[in-house]
Every structure is written in structure tokens, then in C-alpha cells.
Amino acid sequence: MGRRPIPGYYSGITNVDAASLEHKVFGAYVDLEGQLTEKFQAGVAVRSEHYSDFGDTTNGKLSLRYDFTPQIAARGSISSGYRAPSLVQSGLSSFSVQVVEQPPGSGNWVEVQQRTLRADSPEAALLGGRALKPEESTNYSLGLVWRPLANASVTLDAYRIDIDNRITLSDQLPAGVVGPIFAGTPYANIQSAAFYTNIADTRTEGVELAGQYQWDLQQFGRLDLSAGFAKTRTRITELRDAGGIAGEQIVGRATQGLIEHGTPDSKLTLSAHWLYQTGASP
């Protein structure tokens, strides 16, 4: 026999949850690339943006490439990134009621009010929540390029991406956590709560190997073959406490596991593209 299902229902849309949000973005982008010497190539890119709700940001990228021989080259880059919270992350507020057995196995079923709180709401503030900040990232990459044939190439790249203030939905904090904090406030009826937060910093490291080959089929066109393998790892480098609640409680083991292992750490791709020209149209 399986576990007894837990019934529940959503209250629908309420005036408390309704919100009118917008943000406008204006940006400018400049990308310059040049051959400094016969073997040395460099590129610089700058992007400046203005967010109506988060102000100004400027990010850039520096890329370098050096050709040791016509067949072998090294390349690398460093760049910064910026991602403002989405309107959903900034303004989400929802309500539901779950009927749960407390304590488990007792046969005593009770209604538990669960809320996803708007990040900058007074209720979330009591739990350590605050208006979301943009995510900021720094990206590093280093790689090799090998062209054994005029129609074949192999590339190997390693990279690292550091994200500060990563936006994450917290766990549903249980009554044992939120009850004492909400006691004596207008929010005392909330028995379980979650909210979006910038509580974590993460680091993603990976390596990618790719190969391409163009096969000339003469009168039958051309066949482009490619293969790639990627290996990545993401880990949380810092969890911050908030409102007297430990970071491990706000982002529990399940959510931490989703951040670190929510996507496959290995990926293999194979592709073939056949190009065939039948002739000019009449």
C-alpha cells in the first residue's frame, strides 16, 4: 500500500496577492575585436544598462586568442554579468491550505495555511526577507583549439562561473520556525511560509570538449558532423543567515540539492547536418 494522499486546495486569486509591477530596461552595447599581430587577437565588449527599478549597471568582457601555429591556438576570456530579479520573483504572493496529519500516523488531520510571501513584504521581513537584489556573476574561461585538417577542428574549454546573490525560493518554513516569529502579529495565522531570497552564492565549474568535421560528398552535397561532451559541477559557496534563522533552514537540503544537482552534470551531444543544393531556381 502506498502513502495516504494529502488533500489540499488553493484559495485562488485574492486582493492581498494581486500586484501591478513593471520594469523598463534601456541599454547600449559596444563590441570591438581586432588582430593586434599576426598571431595575437583581442576583443573588448562593454554593455551598460539602466533598470527603472534597480538603477545602472555596466559589465564587460575581455577575450584573447594566440595562434601558436596555423593548427594550434589558445584562447581565454573574463567577463562580468548581471541579472535583475524577474517580476515573478519580485512580486509573487500566493496562498494555499493543506490538510496534513499531525503528528504523522496519529489520524489527526488539520488544516495548515501555507503562504508564498512577496520578498519585500512585512511578513517576509520578519523572517529575514528583504527586497531582492540583482544577481552578479564573474565568468572565466580558458581553452585550446586544434585544427588537424582544413575541414576538422577540436576544441577544449574549461570555465568557472561565480554567482553572487543567487535568487532562490526558500523551503516552506514550518510552524515551529514561523510560529514564534509571527506570534502576536497580524500574521499569526500563517503556519508555513516561503519567499524568494538572495541567500546563496554559487560556483559552477566545467569542461567542454567538442569536435567538428565537414565531409565533402561531391555532387551529393556536404555533411557536417559534430560531437560534444560537457562535464559540470555546481556548488553552494555560501549560505547566509537571515532574521535569526539559519541559512540551512531557509534553504534546506532538498533545495540545496536542487541547486547543486538539479541539472545533469554530464552531457553528450551528437549531430549531423546534410547540405545539398539542387540548383538555381528557374
What's the grid cell of residue 218? 561531391
Please provide residue 174's backbone torsions phi and psi, each rounded to the nearest 5 degrees. -80, 175
Identify residue 179 by its one-letter amino acid code.
Answer: G
Q: How many residues does the chain have?
A: 282
DSSP classification of residue 219: G
Angle at 255 between CA 254 and CA 256, to 5 degrees: 90
- Predicted TM-score of the model (pTM): 0.84
User: pLDDT at position 60, please?
Assistant: 97
What's the grid cell of residue 248? 540551512
User: pLDDT at position 266, please?
Assistant: 97
User: pLDDT at position 5, please?
Assistant: 52
User: pLDDT at position 11, please?
Assistant: 59
Q: Are 243 and 126 in contact (CB under 8 A)?
A: yes
User: pLDDT at position 247, please?
Assistant: 76
User: pLDDT at position 13, please?
Assistant: 58
Question: pLDDT for 55-106, tens place per residue?
Answer: 999 999 999 999 999 999 999 999 999 999 999 999 988 888 877 777 777 8
CB neighbour list of residue 49: distance below 8 Å, 6 or more residues apart = 25, 26, 27, 28, 56, 57, 58, 82
Question: pLDDT for 184-209, tens place per residue?
Answer: 888 888 888 999 999 899 999 999 99
User: pLDDT at position 267, please?
Assistant: 96
The segments of the chain whose pLDDT lies below 50 read 1, 3, 280-282
What's the grid cell of residue 22? 513593471
Total Cβ atoms within 10 A of residue 275: 11
